[in-house]
Amino acid sequence: MADKPNDFNSSIAIDSRMFREDILGSIAHATTLASQGILSAEDGDAITQGLSDILTDIESGVLPIDQSAEDIHTFIEAELTARIGDAGKRLHTGRSRNDQVATDLRLYLRKKCAKLHENIDALIITLQHKREEYPAAIMPGYTHLQRAQPILFAQHLLAYQEMFRRDLGRLNDAARRMNISPLGSGALAGTGYAIDRSSTAKSLGFDGFSVSTIDGVSDRDFCIELTAMLSILMMHLSRFCEELILWCSWEFRFVALDDAHTTGSSMMPQKKNPDYAELIRGKSGRVFGNLMNLLTIMKGLPLAYNKDMQEDKAAVFDAFDTAELCLDAAIPMIAAMRLFPDHMRRAAAEGFLNATDCANYLVERGLPFRDAYHATSKLVALCNASAYTLETLPLARYKKICALFEEDIYAFVALEACVARRNQM
């Protein structure tokens, strides 16, 4: 049971983090009320100064946020009224809690988007530095988790850079669509006061204001869209972490993660567990769950505002917090990661990843590709039976399969040549 009658209805534990945005939105609202003569200049000044003082006191720790308040908006308005008297009671003129909350949420998420942009950009740069650290390392490229063709480790990381660049694009698109002010929508039908919505939107850094006041207070597409973007980002992080987990195993031994990002076993002293990578992989499900939470909250709501929407903040805030936490863990983990290029190259050589190039060698000498394919398949079977690779198989055995092979086959199927031959980057 709730400890107090108001606990079930309260949202202060979640929305108190928006105190700064609530104060800035209220200052903008008070300013336009005063400029339009709806408030006296004296009341406008008193409200603005009172809110500025409250912001300073909360940030400095002088004023703790009262967790018994219903929400951050009620707490700040009550504190303002206690400090400046009746002028504080006039702040809510021409405004509803509905457009106030919607405005605060957009302002707060806009700040979170800017921070997330920095983090994703830092991840892309970290991957670039790792590519430059190992520019010539050859590794197996995989399909179906089977060794397929030789590639550069740098090419593999480039694929993830492209994924994260798309994440940046989705973030920027969602942030742009979100940057519309709902302030002035009132409860749903606007306000009877002659407020200047354009001026308020501009002062808060919005690109404009919501054309539909009903949509202004009932829209949470931006929460869903941002959480969908975060879900895709976490899916990309999870895929990369899955590969790191495989690569640092003794079965692969392609990379080593720094001790700062692994843990030992409580029983087995030889173990070095990739806990950071595993936790990132696991936390992706948490963000996916937040997306489903938001979709489920919104799917059955009639216009306009409904109290169900109070649950939006817990989901979208947790999605951002989780993604930021994972990025903060992933960036130094990748930066400190060491490669074992010799192990990677050995795996590429032993997997006959140059078989396609061997077939292409015959094609260049006039043999139809399907015949070249079958001839190379016989060569691979011969190598498997005699512990050779295509780079070490004697020429006489090559010629026994197909007379078109000459001494230059060795240079042609060298892994470095196979990699260099392709337009990978």
Q: Return the closest-CA partner of residue 336 out of 257, 252, 224, 229.
A: 257
Q: Report helix, strand or coil for 192.
A: coil
The alpha carbon of 403 is separated from its chain's Cα centroid by a whole number of angstroms, namely 55
**Residues in CB range of 156: below 8 A, 6 or more apart:** 139, 141
Q: Report helix, strand or coil for 125.
A: helix
More confident of the two residues 346 and 335 = 335
Same fold, 98-344 and 352-421: no
Which pLDDT band holds residue 1 (cuts at 50, 70, 90)? Answer: very low
Which pLDDT band holds residue 295 (cuts at 50, 70, 90)? Answer: very high
* Cβ neighbours, 10 Å, residue 365: 13
Provide the pLDDT for residue 4: 58
Give the pTM.
0.92
- Helices 312-336, 97-133: inter-axial angle, 10-degree rounding: 10
Q: Is residue 218 annotated as part of the catalytic site, yes or no? A: no
Each residue of 213-260: pLDDT tens digit? 999 999 999 999 999 999 999 999 999 999 999 999 999 999 999 999
Q: Does residue 421 carry a pLDDT above 90?
A: no
| Architecture of the domain spanning 98-344 | Up-down Bundle (1.20)
CB 161 within 8 A of CB 120: no
Determine what percent of the chain falls in helix, strand and coil, rounding each to the nearest 5. Answer: 65, 5, 30
More confident of the two residues 20 and 420 = 20
Each residue of 385-402: pLDDT tens digit? 988 989 999 999 999 999
The active-site residue out of 144, 181, 198, 236 is 144
What is the DSSP secondary structure assignment for residue 143, as one 8-state letter?
E
Provide the pLDDT for residue 17: 98
Q: Is residue 92 annotated as part of the catalytic site, yes or no? A: no
Q: Does residue 89 carry a pLDDT above 70?
A: yes
Is 42 exposed, middle or buried (CB count within 10 Å of its CB: 0-12, 13-18, 19+)?
exposed
Q: Does residue 71 carry a pLDDT above 70?
A: yes
What's the mean pLDDT when you consider all of the chain?
Answer: 95
- Helices 312-336, 275-298: inter-axial angle, 10-degree rounding: 160
List the CATH code of the domain at 12-93.
Answer: 1.10.275.10
- Average pLDDT, integer, range 71-84: 97
Residue ranges of domains in the chain: 12-93, 98-344, 352-421
216/181 Cα distance (integer angstroms): 8
Type and span of the H or E element at 255: strand 255-256
Which pLDDT band holds residue 422 (cuts at 50, 70, 90)? Answer: confident
Each residue of 115-172: pLDDT tens digit? 999 999 999 999 999 999 999 999 999 999 999 999 999 999 999 999 999 999 999 9
**Residues in CB range of 238: below 8 A, 6 or more apart:** 280, 281, 284
- Helices 221-247, 275-298: inter-axial angle, 10-degree rounding: 160
* Cβ neighbours, 10 Å, residue 6: 12
**Dihedral sign from CA coordinates of 386, 390, 392, 394:** positive
Tokens 């670039």 locate to: 128
Each residue of 358-381: pLDDT tens digit? 999 999 999 999 999 999 999 999
Q: Does residue 209 carry a pLDDT above 80?
A: yes
The active-site residue out of 40, 249, 265, 386 is 265
- Average pLDDT, integer, range 307-318: 97
The count of C-alpha atoms lying within 13 angstroms of the C-alpha of 405, restricted to the half-sphere facing its C-beta, is 24
| Architecture of the domain spanning 352-421 | Orthogonal Bundle (1.10)
